[in-house]
Chains A and B, each alone.
Chain A
Amino acid sequence: MQVYVKLYATFRLKYKDYDVPGGICLELPPGSTIADAMQALEIQPEKVSLLRKNEVITKDIHAALAEGDVLEVFPYVGGG
C-alpha cells in the first residue's frame, strides 16, 4: 500500500528535493503502522513532538495505516 508522509522542520531538511505539497510517498506492506513508516524514514520516535494522521493529532505510533493515509511528522520546535 502507499501512504504519504509530510515532514516538517529539521526532518524535512534531510531531503533536498522534498515535494512540499505531496510529501514522501512510501510503499509499505499492508498492516503497517505509523512506527513502521517512521522506521522506513529513519525517524526515531523520541525525536517526534507531534504526529497527525489525516489531519488528526495522534500519539499512537502503533496505529495501523491504510492505503492513501497522510502522516505528518514534526520534530521538537520552539521559539516565538
Chain B
Amino acid sequence: MKFLRVDMSAQTVKFEEPGEAYKLYGGRGLIAKILTEEVDPACDPLGPQNKLIICTGLLAGTSAPTSGRLSVGGKSPLTGTIKEANAGGTAGWMMSRLGLRAIIVENAAPGKCFILKVGSGTAQLLPGEAYAGLNNYELVARLQQAFGEKIGVISIGGAGERGYRNSTVQITNTEGYPSRAAARGGLGAVMGSKGLKAIVLEPGAAPVVTYHDREKFNSAVKSYVQGIKAHPVSGEAMPALGTAVLINIVNAMGALPTRNFSSGSFEGAEAISGERLAQLQAERGGKNGHACQPGCPIGCSNIYKDEKGEYLTSGFEYETIALNGANCGIASLDAIARIDRLCDDFGLDTMETGTTIAVCMEAGRIPFGDEKGVMALLQEMSDGTEFGKVLGQGTAATGKYLGVQRIPTVKGQSIAAYDPRALKGTGVTYATSPMGADHTCGNSILEQNVAPTQKEGQVEVSTNLQVGMATFDSLGLCIFSGFCTADPANIGHLVDMLASRFGGAWDVNKLFSIGIDTLAMEKKFNAAAGFSKTDNRLPRFMLTEPLPPSNSVFDIPDEELDKAIPF
C-alpha cells in the first residue's frame, strides 16, 4: 500500500513506498505519526504548513469486517489540537483497491479549485473551477456524470470552501450519496484551504494484500464475524433500529441533552426514537439495516424517505437526531432529517451545528422548538451572512458572540449527545481526549460494572475505552464491530488477524499498544501546540448545575481527571 503525496502549491503528485517504519501504522495512528513528524504543532491549521491526511487502517483491503473505514486528519481549525475524524462509505475500500494507504495533501493553492483524480497507479490534479461553490449532492452528481457512476468521492461543500471551522469532509456511501462524514473538527476547512474541492477515486481492482498466513487470517475473520453477529447490540439492535435506538434508553438514563443541556430528559423522545424511525421508514419505503460500506455485517445505517416517499437523507444517526432534536426542543424526525440533509449537502458537522443552534436558542435568537428558525439559521450559514459566518465558527465562538454562559464544549469542540453529568465515564473522555469532546474516543454507554452517575472508577473506565477506540481507529475498523470484544475470545480473533496479516509475535498487549502509542503521539502534538492539563476540563456549569431529573453534577475532581490516559 502506497502513499500519494499531493503538493498543492506546485500542483504535483508523487507516489511513494512508505517503508518498514510505517508498516504497523494505519488510520488514526498513521495520522498521529505523520503529523508529529512532519507538521509544526504551532502552525496555522488553515495555512500551508498544515497537512490534510486521508488514510485507511491497518486491516484495510482485507476481508476483516468493517475494515473500509476512512480516517481524515490534520491540525484542527476548530480545536487547535491534533484531529482524526473517521467515516464509513466506500472511499476507504476504494483506496485499498487502488493500492493506497494514504493521500497526504501538502501546501496550498489559495483561491484556486482543483479536483484530484486517482486511478490505479495514476493521479492527476484537474482544474475544478467548474465545480467551485457547489454543495456536495450536486457536486457528486456532476462528478459521477463526468467520471462514471462507480467512482468514490471525498469532497467538501460550501462550508469547507468558506473556511467554516465546523465543516466536514463528506464521503459517498454505497448508493453514491455524499452522506457519510468525517465530521468533527473542521477538516473540511483544511481541505478548502488547500484549494482541493474533491478527490475522485476510480473503482480499481481487487486489493493486493500480502499475508503471513492467509488461511489463519480467513479463519480469524470468520470467527470474529460470528462474534459480531452473536452480540445483542451489533447483531440485533443496530441492524434493526440503527444508532437512533439510543434515544429512548439515553432519555431513560436522564442523559439525553435537552434544550442546550438544561435537562437529561426530553418529553418528545419517543417521537424521535429509533423505534419510531424504523416504523416510519417501513411505511415510506425507506430502509434500516443499510450497510454504509461494502460487506459490513452490522448494517446500522439507513435510507430516510420524506412524507412523499422520496429520498431525503441517509446515514441519519443518533447524535444528529439527539443534538438537533431534543437539544433544540424539536420532536419531529422529518424536521431533523431536513437539517441532516442540509448539513451533509453544505458540509457541516451535524453535531456541532445542533449544539450551535441550541446556544442561539438559549440566547433567545430563536425559540427552542422553532424548526423554521433553524432552517433560516442554516440558510444564513449557506448564504454567508455576517451572522452565518459566526455560526460557521462553531458552538464556542457563537456562544461567546451571543454572550451565552452555558457553552457545552471542551477544547472548542461541542460535547456529544450524552450529558456527562449522567454518564460520567463518557464525561472523562470528553475532558481528556486529545480530540476535544468526542464520544467516539471512549463512550461508557455499555459499561455495566461502574454505575453511570457514580464518580469512582470512571477514570479507569474512560482510559480503557480510549485505548480501545484509538486501537480500532488505527486498525481502520468501525468501533461498532468492537462491542463483541467484551468477550476475550473475540479479542483473540483480532490478535490472530494481525499476526496472520503481518507476521511476528502478537498478543493482547501488542494489540492495544497501538492505541497507547497513538494517544501518546497525540498528547505530544497537543503539548507542543500549547495545550496543558488545564484544558482537560468540562464546562464549569456542568460541575455546579444539577441535571434534571437525576440532579447529578459532574463531580470527578480535576486531580482525578489528570490521571486519565497516562501515556
Contact = CB atoms under 8 A, between A and B. Distances in A.
A55 B265 CA distance: 11
B319 A20 contact: no
Interface string B437-458: 0011001011010000000000
B356 to A, nearest CB: 19
A80 B440 contact: yes
A8 B232 contact: no
Contacts of B246: 77-80
A80 B317 contact: yes
B440 A77 contact: no
A49 interface: yes
A10 B239 CA distance: 10
* Most chain B beta-carbon neighbours within 10 Å: one of A8, A13, A57: A8
Interface string A49-80: 11010010100000000000000101111111
Contacts of B232: 10, 47, 75-76
A19 B234 CA distance: 26
Contact of B248 (A9, A13, A55, A80): A9
B491 interface: no
Interface in B184-208: none
Contacts of A52: 252
Interface residues of A, number: 21
The secondary structure that dominates the B interface is helix
Interface string B274-299: 11100000000000000000000000
B252 A80 contact: no
Contacts of A12: 275
Q: State the 10 A-B residue pairs at the shortest beta-carbon distance, nearest first.
A: A79-B243, A78-B233, A76-B232, A77-B245, A77-B237, A74-B249, A80-B318, A8-B248, A9-B245, A10-B236
Contacts of B480: 78-79
Contacts of A78: 233-234, 237-238, 246, 445-446, 480, 483
Interface in B306-353: 317-319
B416 A9 contact: no
Nearest to A51: B252
Given A77-B246, A78-B483, A80-B318, A10 B241 contact: yes
A11 to B, nearest CB: 10
Contacts of A80: 243, 246, 317-319, 416-418, 439-440, 443, 445
B252 A72 contact: yes
Given A9-B241, A80-B319, A50 B233 contact: no
A20 B440 CA distance: 31
B415 interface: no
A75 B234 CA distance: 12
Contacts of A77: 233, 237-238, 241, 245-246, 249
A80 B247 CA distance: 10
Nearest to B416: A80
B140 interface: no
B302 to A, nearest CB: 12
Nearest to A7: B275
A49 B486 CA distance: 15
Interface string B250-262: 0011000000000
Nearest to A74: B249
A41 B246 CA distance: 22
